[in-house]
Amino acid sequence: MSIKEKPMIKNIVSVYDSLYENASAETGNKTYFFLAVSIIGGGLFFLSFFLADANPFRLLVPGTLHDFSLSARDKRKKAEIFLGDAQKRVFTSERKVFLSGDFKRDLISLITEVGEPPYYETEENLNKKDLNTNFKKLPNLHYALITFWKRNGVLILDFREETLNSEMDAIKVDTSEVRYDITEEGDQTKLAVIQAKEEKKKKRAKEMKRELLSSGFLALEKTIFANFKDINTIEYRLNGKIRNFPELEYSLTEPKKRQ
């Protein structure tokens, strides 16, 4: 039996002859036209799934074309956070913070939040849209926190002085408003004028950084009292000792009482 006489070859040749006859005819057969389009469309459909390395039969499972899952619930809770303007004033603000109910984690979260940038505060809290206050970025006190403990309503916070100094060095302040008045008795040369002006700027920058640190501790104090009703007194330590931070107006040796 030759190859042409095999049944499968005969069927292929027969189908080809039929397709050729319908393709060369002036008026095609609608049945063949429908089959041709269906075969081509089905082939492209399965080919696309093959190229995408996906299972085409997953379409038979209801709900696979659309994601009906609900959006993740916001687990943050509203907390009262105080902000500073570096002029010994603090202002209350309402923010969403991740609070788990665990005192240690929540305290660290609130200390961290005090040092977050407040640049969009008026946009986030519409009740402050008419407040003419320039909020400042306060130091990241949570970096300097060594440990803390609570007992009988008293919270003791121990900070690392070296880290506080590093935070002071990292703060950027604007001293462009500093002016130096030339007098007749002094400042005989331009060099002396420049040196005096630079010294005055350095002194003012140091003062501004100390003011920001004072505002940071004050904002932290108000934030802790506002969110932990069982705390009545806050005490501070520097490297485990009761003493003040150099040239800081906010006293770290005086216990802070709830008012």
What value, to the nearest 5°, has the Cα angle with vertex 161 and ends 156 and 162? Answer: 145
Mean pLDDT of 66-87: 76
Lowest mean pLDDT among 102-111, 176-185, 231-240: 176-185
Amino acid at 146: I
Predicted confidence at residue 227, as pLDDT, reads: 95
Distance separating alpha carbons of residues 173 and 175, to the nearest angstrom: 6
Compute the Cα dihedral for 55, 59, 60, 64 and give only its sign. Answer: positive
Predicted confidence at residue 201, as pLDDT, reads: 79
Number of H helices, E strands in the chain: 7, 6
| Residue 220 binned pLDDT confidence (cut-offs 50, 70, 90) | very high
Does the pLDDT value for residue 80 go beyond 80?
Answer: yes
Distance separating alpha carbons of residues 136 and 209, to the nearest angstrom: 11
| Residue 126 binned pLDDT confidence (cut-offs 50, 70, 90) | very low
- The more confidently predicted of residues 214 and 73 is 214
pLDDT tens figures, 86-104: 677 888 888 888 888 899 9
213 within 8 A of 250, measured Cβ to Cβ:
yes
Distance separating alpha carbons of residues 105 and 79, to the nearest angstrom: 14
Q: What b-and-e string marks burial along 10-45, b requiring 16 or more CB atoms within 10 Å of the CB?
A: eeeeeeeeeeeebeeeeeeeeeeeeeeeeeeeeeee
